[in-house]
Amino acid sequence: MSDAGKDDARTGGCQCGGVRYELTGEAAELYACHCLECRKLTASAFSMSLQVRIADFRITGGEPKFWTRPSDKGNTIKCGFCPTCGSRIWHETLGEKEWMTLKPGSLDEPVNYADAIHIWTRRKLPGFEIPEGAEQYPGEPD
């Protein structure tokens, strides 16, 4: 790749630091997903996903492991995680060549939660308040 991306490279990694990565380029949308799968994966209220280009993402340390699961749309989602601490780091849809979703809580520099588009809000935990003015969808946006 060219040197152009190096200045704006962002770094991140799992909870134990065993898996590290570098991200260049501009990310697309940031989502906060309240679906049941995302609650299970985080064991928490929701999961955040940052759309980034596969070509912009590079593992710089450690060896992630993978597991796959079917998506609602009939695709197969490949999930990358740290084999030591278990942190989920990214998802790819098998066959998709351009975009993947990074779990942005793993970035060293925080993303701005106020930018998140909330999806599957009809599944959100009781009592969870979507920030006022946030773009939101009861299910998956088209």
- Residues at the contact surface with Zn ion, assessed by CB under 5 A: 14, 16, 18, 33, 35, 38, 82, 84-85
Shortest CB 10 distance to Zn ion, Å: 18
Report angle CA 19, 20, 24 to the nearest 5 degrees. 145
CB of 130 to Zn ion, least distance (A): 15
Specify the residue, 33 or 52, whose C-beta has the smaller distance to Zn ion: 33
Residue 35 backbone dihedrals phi, psi, to 5 degrees: -70, 165
Q: Of 18 and 25, which CB lies nearer to Zn ion in the complex structure? A: 18
Query: Residue 137: which of 28, 36, 49, 33 has the closest Cα?
Result: 33
For the chain, helix, strand, coil in percent to 5 are 20, 35, 45
Least distance from Zn ion to the Cβ atom of residue 28, Å: 17
Nearest approach in angstroms of CB 82 to Zn ion is: 3
Give the contacts of 14 (CB within 8 A, at least 6 positions apart).
20, 62, 81, 82, 84, 85, 87, 89, 106
Which residue number, 10 or 12, has a Cβ lying nearer to Zn ion? 12
Nearer to Zn ion, 5 or 61 (CB): 61
